């Protein structure tokens, strides 16, 4: 009987530990992607951020997709990606994908505190947005400690192409840096110890 009681206790302890670890992993899985789409006379534009509520120190990916449904093709001359100055561009992360594979944009990339700008007329390749063949411009940023917590930070894009120009420097998506906490709602070590029954004894 004693042996059975011991085994039952181990089983309960293992189940509790599994539940606690589930809570811990759920708390830290905070990524919340967001996107916004609009259409002008030149193209349909979709901007997506991999995490709209990041923490300080996180790296986020921003993707801008250009699409056309009819001819003629749109040749992109340059694209600007606007972001809050508290976000730092990740070196060599800017890429252009026209359906034939991702291409680097540097060294033809202007990097400023509030935006980056890719000059495709200076690159060795040309960029065409064709009907049913979208083009995406992607870049990564690190969230800095100077970012205001809990306040939406605007972002956007502007571009110039063979069919015209578009200025949408604050169309979004908006990014709201999480306020300081225990790491995004995770279970603290002390709480985990209590759940597992390994906390300090009375």
Q: Would you say residue 161 has pLDDT above 90?
A: yes
User: Within a domain: residue 175?
Assistant: no
The answer to whether position 88 is within a domain reads: yes
Residue 184 pLDDT > 70, yes or no? no
Per-residue pLDDT tens digits for 118-160: 999 999 999 999 998 999 999 999 999 999 999 999 999 999 9
Residues 131 and 63 in one domain: yes
Q: What is the pLDDT of residue 12?
A: 38
Inter-helix orientation angle 2-28/189-196, to 10°: 160
Total domains present in the chain: 2
pLDDT at 70: 94
| Whether residue 118 sits in one domain with residue 99 | yes
DSSP secondary structure letters along 75-126: EEEEEEEE--TTEEEPTT--EEESSS-EEE-TTSEEE-SSEEEEETTSSSS-
Range of the structural domain that residue 129 is part of? 34-168
> Does residue 62 share a domain with residue 8?
no
Residue 193 lies in a domain: no
Reading the block at residue 15, the tokens are 């189940």
Residue 186 lies in a domain: no
* Residue 188 placed within a domain: no
Verify that 90 and 10 share a domain, yes or no: no
User: Is 196 part of any domain?
Assistant: no
Among 2-16, 107-121, 143-157, where is mean pLDDT lowest?
A: 2-16
Buried/exposed 62-84: b ≥16 CB within 10 Å, e otherwise: bbbbbbbeeeebbebbbbbbbbb
* 8 and 48 part of one domain: no
């Amino acid at each position: 009987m004693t042996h059975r009681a011991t085994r039952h206790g181990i089983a309960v302890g293992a189940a509790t530990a599994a539940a606690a670890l589930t809570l811990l992993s759920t708390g830290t899985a905070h990524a919340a992607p967001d996107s916004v789409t609009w259409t002008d006379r030149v193209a349909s534009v979709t901007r997506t951020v991999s995490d709209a509520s990041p923490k300080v120190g996180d790296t986020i990916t921003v993707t801008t997709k250009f699409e056309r449904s009819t001819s003629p093709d749109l040749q992109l001359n340059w694209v600007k990606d606007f972001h809050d100055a508290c976000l730092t561009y990740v070196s060599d992360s800017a890429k252009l994908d026209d359906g034939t594979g991702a291409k680097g944009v540097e060294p033809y990339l202007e990097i400023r505190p509030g935006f980056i700008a890719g000059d495709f007329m200076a690159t060795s390749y040309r960029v065409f947005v064709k009907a049913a063949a979208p083009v995406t411009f992607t870049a990564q940023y690190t969230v800095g400690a100077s970012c205001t917590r809990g306040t939406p930070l605007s972002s956007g894009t502007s571009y110039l192409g063979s069919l015209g120009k578009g200025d949408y420097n604050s169309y979004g998506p908006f990014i709201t840096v999480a306020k300081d906490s225990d790491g995004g709602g995770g279970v603290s070590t002390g709480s985990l110890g209590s759940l597992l029954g390994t906390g300090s004894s009375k």
